[in-house]
Structure 1
Amino acid sequence: MKTEEKSASNKKLISLCVIERALEGDIQAINKVLKHYEGYIAKLSIRKMYDEYGSVHYCVDETLRRRLETKLIKTILGFKMVR
């Protein structure tokens, strides 16, 4: 239980002011949000590929990665914060 708490507390969160600026359309803030989720998006974009010899290779599908980034940006810009 303590290891779960330690690992959860080590994760850095996006500050509220960055989120608010991203919701307003600030490009730098949106880039910070994209940078924060960069690893997660890359992990979701991994696909199994086969070469001409039938060997399996795992690589990031760049098209899928871009689609996920675009979806995140659209969601950020369409999100309405309620206080």
Structure 2
Amino acid sequence: MRKNDTQMKKSELLPFHIIKAASEGDVEAINTVLKHYEGYIASLSTRIMFDEFGQVHYCVDETLRRRLETKLITKILAFKPVPYETGKVGNRQ
């Protein structure tokens, strides 16, 4: 089964320069990372609610969503990327 363009766009990885800039505190890069993961965060923070008639409703728990976003920002700022050295594979030279 082949993915369409929308599904492929969702599964794309963030470019390294954005991750590096976000880890250095660039606000726009942090917002880009948050935007990239907003769907996943929303799905993690979705809760099942029942109304007085027993009907099921799915709602995003805003408190949990904000806590997940805050945790992501904290981990972004604590992340220290390791420089990539070209030409070396394992112990080979």
Give TM-score scaled by structure 2 length. 0.77
| CA distance in structure 2 between the aligned counterparts of 1:53 and 1:44, rounded to whole angstroms | 26
Aligned match of 1:64: 64
Tell me the CA shift for residue 54 of structure 1: 2.1
Query: Take 1:71 and 1:44, find their aligned partners in 2: how far apart are those partners?
Result: 13
Q: Which residue of 1 aligns with 2:50?
A: 50
Task: Say how many residue pairs are matched.
Answer: 78
1:25-82 deviations in Å (ceiling 9; x for gaps): 0000000000000000000011011112222111111111000000000000011111
Gaps of 5+ in 1: none
**TM-align CA RMSD:** 1.5
Report the TM-score, using the length of structure 1 for normalisation: 0.85
Gaps of 5+ in 2: 84-93
- The structure whose residues are more often helix, as a share, is 1
Between Structure 1 and Structure 2, whose CA radius of gyration is higher? Answer: 2
**Percent identity between the two aligned chains:** 63
